[in-house]
Amino acid sequence: MKIGVPKEIKNNENRVGMTPAGVYELVKNGHTVYVQSTAGDGSGFFDDDYLSVGANLVPDIETVYELAEMIVKVKEPIAQEYPLIKPGQILFTYFHFASSMELTQAMIESKAVCIAYETVEDTDGTLPLLTPMSEVAGRMAIQQGAKYLEKPIKGRGVLLGGVPGVPPGKVLVLGAGVVGIQAAKMAAGLGAHVTILDINMKRLRHVNDVMPSHVVTEYSSEYNIRRHIKNHDLIVGGVLIKGGKAPKLITREMLKEMRPGTVLVDVAVDQGGCFETTRATTHEDPTYIIDDIVHYCVANMPGAVPYTSTLALTNVTLPYVLKLANLGYETACAKNPELAKGLNIVGGEIVYEEIKEFFEANV
């Protein structure tokens, strides 16, 4: 198969869809890989690294799309890529269709085969291609939240870990999935007091078992959320609905119950966000303020640490890329039910139920 790795062109996205190690495996299996020149520079992988493992370097993104039967990338195609996509071409990347009608419509019209990292699902219900980026984003949520609590950036002026004689900051984590657990782990490591909410008691029991005593679990309800937002300094939203829009757990009017300078970090922004006031931002301009509450809603948080993120992502995507390349998407999906769940749009038809419901509700 002919596989293309374009340079990511989303704002401040420095990750790349394939490392030289991944290209090496594909070439070893008899495939041809076209890598756009400088595609890996932002992640610390350079043209010579790709050439040394048998990649074919091409000068521009148009050539990558023209030559490739399958495109492997990180983020969803943006508007200037839409015309480059060919009918029947396989696109293997993050899509998050539920957050963009424009993207959904464009991919339907392209008649491409859209396989989404975020809906590939193991038999135990876990999302193996979303997990590593959720781990990165969960940890980054605390790193960024701690920074934006600083007064020069209009935060409350709170040091999360506190100091002797001064109590630590308080972190509220909504959701005890991968994002929430990683956020709680980082916040606890800094010495903050952490409260983590979820409606899944099994997850809360797991958190209780593995976290230190200053991480407290509670059942998630609107009553408990309203109670905690009044005295927590940093609030992390990490709730995921597979393939669907995230629930709005904090409304606009609830901002008035928070202390000025409270920081909200919405890790669910790719799925529409779990705060009513969420709107996607970029690393270039990451925050905005509503009712004196600082919002950090960067849609590609792991793109700020591209070396770590690219390695973590390709560790898990490469086995699936090899299956798709070796067998073709139809046979690969027939033999691998977990990969079949990644099929979102095929030949102009939405084949993933939650996305179909979203699309039909918004047409």
**CA nearest neighbour of 321 among 136, 97, 68:** 68
Would you say 293 and 234 are in contact if contact means Cβ atoms under 8 Å apart? no
Strands 113-116 and 343-346: antiparallel
Closest CA to 37 of 12, 66, 16: 16
Angstrom distance (rounded) from CA 168 to CA 151: 16
DSSP H helices in the chain:
20-28, 47-51, 61-67, 101-110, 131-148, 178-190, 201-210, 222-229, 306-327, 329-335, 337-340, 353-362
One-letter amino acid for residue 323 of the chain: K
Q: Single out the catalytic residue among 96, 193, 232, 295.
A: 96
Active-site residue, 295 included:
no
Q: Facing residues of 217 across strands?
A: 196
* Lookup: tokens for 311: 């390695």
**C-alpha distances in Å from residue 104, one per residue of 99, 127, 203, 242:** 9, 21, 32, 16
Q: How many whole angstroms separate alpha carbon 312 and alpha carbon 111?
A: 30
| Tokens (6 digits) for 260 | 């000025």
Catalytic residue among 198, 233, 270, 295: 270
Q: What's the helix, strand, coil split of the chain in %, to 5?
A: 40, 20, 40
Q: How many CB atoms lie within 10 A of CB 206?
A: 15
Instruction: Indicate if 270 belongs to the active site.
Output: yes
Q: Which residues are catalytic?
A: 96, 270
